Amino acid sequence: MFWRFFKRSAKIRLDALVVGLGNPGKEYESTRHNIGFDIVDSFRDQLGFNSFEKKRNYIYSYGEFNKIKIALVKPQTYMNNSGEIFKQLAANYEFELSNILIVHDDLDLSLGDLRFRRKGSSGGHNGLKSIEKYLKTTEYGRFKFGIGRKKNVSVIEYVLSRWNEGEKVEVVEGIQRALLGLENWVVNPGCRELLNNSLKKSNKE
């Protein structure tokens, strides 16, 4: 399915649109809910793309990797309004729904576990709910980073908290695996259904 409704001749046609979810502002940096931002930041560093630039309600970094045109995007709308960026994105780029990948935190996965899904429900994630509202479909890719849950702590308090010292090693290791997964997703679109095989934690025993 291609968004021809928004097509304009001057727009760049993307091969990959990678959107990391999070909240803007210093007070949210390095929180669990901002892992999508952190992964996309690291992916930009790995690809050697230029610094992020402001474009209305999002910041972006555009470049080419192996002749693949990629836009890395971080919404500046706050998590619950993440979907609002797609109106502006569609005005600036051409892209297929199958080439969208949303990188986000997931409470239902253990810390550092990674999952790729080609489509599916929001799972209660407010950022995904907003995206589904604007795209009017659930058929877009999701790249999930597990943050786990904590008993006797509200969801809001937990997702807006920062990693403790004991978790940081797993987070760093998880981000490294995520970067390999993102590169595979970008470079090998025909093999995306097999991506989860490369996302598993290594056996350190």
Q: Please state, in angstroms and rounded to a whole number, the distance separating the CA atoms of residues 89 and 19.
A: 11
Active site members: 33
According to the model, what pLDDT value does residue 194 have? Answer: 76
According to the model, what pLDDT value does residue 154 have? Answer: 96
Distances (CA, A) of 5 to 90, 94, 96: 9, 10, 12
Q: What average pLDDT does range 79-89 have in this prediction?
A: 97
Residue-wise pLDDT for 1-23, tens only, equals 455 545 555 799 999 999 999 99
According to the model, what pLDDT value does residue 205 have? Answer: 40
Q: Are 151 and 42 in contact (CB under 8 A)?
A: no
Place 195 in a pLDDT band, splitting at 50, 70 and 90.
confident
The CATH code for residues 11-198 is: 3.40.50.1470
Q: Are 35 and 115 in contact (CB under 8 A)?
A: no
The answer, as to whether pTM is greater than 0.85, is yes
